[in-house]
Amino acid sequence: MMSLFHSYRLGDLTLPNRVVMAPMTRIRAAAGGLATPSMATYYAQRASAGLIVTEGVQPSLIGQSNPGTPGLHTDEQVAAWRPVTAAVHVNGGRIFAQLMHGGRVSHPDTTGAQPVAPSAVPAAGKVFTPAGPRPAPTPRALDTAEMPEHVQAYAHAARRAVDAGFDGVELHGANGYLISQFLSSNANLRTDRYGGSVGNRIRFAVEAAAATVEAVGGHRTGIRLSPGGTFWGLEETDVPELYTALLTELARLGVAYVHLEATTDEETLVGLRRAWPGTLIMNPVAGLGPEQTGRADADRWLGLGADLISFGRAFLANPDLVERLRSGLPIAPADEATYYQGGDAGYLTYPTYQYTA
């Protein structure tokens, strides 16, 4: 059986193991969406992962979801990311930037503008703002003529990512953000070519992926998906049909990988593995639940056909997670109170495993 610690060829990269650091929001960027020296240290500490995928990075100002998140749409942001990617590479790692357009999961207090979405349907719950959680506002429905602008935002940010030293990008098509909103059957009520049928609901995702592949190459382009996920009040109908159709189009584009979350039943996920001919990253435990991915979950999904396994929360308190998994060492718990509080506590302060004589 394939081991979590066997190497893997991903595009032009040779990954020394099959452990992927999943994208996780940390709210540590400086004003203007700038990466910081602490972020360079944070990612470099975890460079033993086969692949790091960063926290969500906004491809445009209107695409920013949370305050305190980094961007890739200005020259200053590109310059701020270069020490981060350099630190990861010096420490032997590989790093993709996750490009995340929040769509309706945003607020005017964060961006200075009304959020945009497929339809004027607000997200469920409260969104983060500079003044704290606020009810999600009603977004402005995008005009059909505006679609190319938002499609190209991913491509422009991907070019900037490569300029900043990233090895590639992952489009955030999951968890209720913009691409996911287009896939939805209750957030996307459009009657034009971007809504209604399965073929129309996948159109925005396919166009965003195609534009990114054209900009930086398929070997540098991945996408994360959450089939059947209900984040921010989303619903999806015809999940197997919807995602099989999407994977078919992504395969034609030659993207480097698909990153699936365990947000639907195992039978559907295994069916999607069969439908996808390329590299599959599997996140075996749905986010925001009480459990986190462990070695047994990873081995199980490698046996079910995944190529790489992503770990989220386990990486927060365990910068040496790969070694802990390899040696069967305890996985330290993370302090939830420090997830989004800013500063270096609960960010750079988790040690590697301390052996005792």
Tell me the longest C-alpha to C-alpha distance in the chain: 68
Integer angstrom CA distances of residue 306 from 19, 145, 326, 357: 11, 38, 18, 38
Active site residues: 177
In a domain, residue 42? The reply is yes
SS3 240: helix
- What pLDDT is attached to residue 285? 82
The whole-model pTM stands at: 0.97
Read off the pLDDT of residues 182-237 as tens digits, 9 standing for 90 and up. Answer: 999 999 999 999 999 999 999 999 999 999 999 999 999 999 999 999 999 999 99
DSSP code for 52: E
Which domain CATH number covers 219?
A: 3.20.20.70
Residue 225 bridge partners (DSSP): 173, 260
Query: Which tops the pLDDT comparison, 96 or 294?
Result: 96
Residue with tokens 């500063």: 343
* Beta-carbon count within 10 A of 53 CB: 25
**Would residue 343 count as lying in a domain?**
no
Asked if residue 354 belongs to a domain, the reply is no
Cross-strand pairs, 99: 57, 171
Is the per-residue pLDDT at 289 higher than 80?
Answer: no
Count of CB atoms situated within 10 Å of the CB of 343: 11
| Contact present, 120 and 141 (Cβ < 8 Å) | yes
pLDDT given at position 291: 73
Q: Is 10 helix (H, G, I), strand (E, B) or coil?
A: strand
Where residue 238 falls (left for φ over 0; alpha for ψ -120 to 50; beta otherwise) is left
pLDDT given for residue 2 in this prediction: 78
Question: Taking a C-beta distance cutoff of 8 angstroms, is the pair 115, 137 a contact?
Answer: yes
Q: Do the domain assignments include residue 3?
A: no
What's the pLDDT tens digit per position in 119-175?
A: 999 999 999 999 999 999 999 999 999 999 999 999 999 999 999 999 999 999 999
If one counts the domains in the chain, the total is: 1
Q: Is the CB of residue 338 less than 8 Å from the CB of residue 345?
A: yes
- Mean pLDDT in the chain? 96
| Domain presence at residue 2 | no
> Which has the closest alpha carbon to 184: 266, 258, 260, 242?
242
Q: Which domain holds residue 281?
A: 8-338
150 within domain boundaries? yes
For residue 20, count other CB atoms closer than 10 A to its CB.
30
Count CA atoms closer than 13 A to 124's CA, side-chain side: 10
> Whole-angstrom Cα distance, residue 303 to residue 89?
30
Classify residue 238 by its DSSP letter: S
Residue 287: its pLDDT value, please?
Answer: 61
Q: Is the pLDDT of residue 330 over 70?
A: yes
CA-based nearest residue to 123, from 260, 230, 272: 230
pLDDT in tens, 254-279: 999 999 999 999 999 999 999 999 99
Collapsed DSSP state (helix, strand, coil) of residue 98: strand
Structure tokens at 183: 């896939």
Contacts for 81-84: CB closer than 8 Å, 24+ residues apart: 81/35, 81/161, 81/164, 81/165, 81/166, 82/164, 82/165, 83/35, 83/37, 83/40, 84/35, 84/39, 84/40, 84/43, 84/165
- 334 within domain boundaries: yes
Residue 271: inside a domain: yes
pLDDT at residue 354, as a whole number: 87
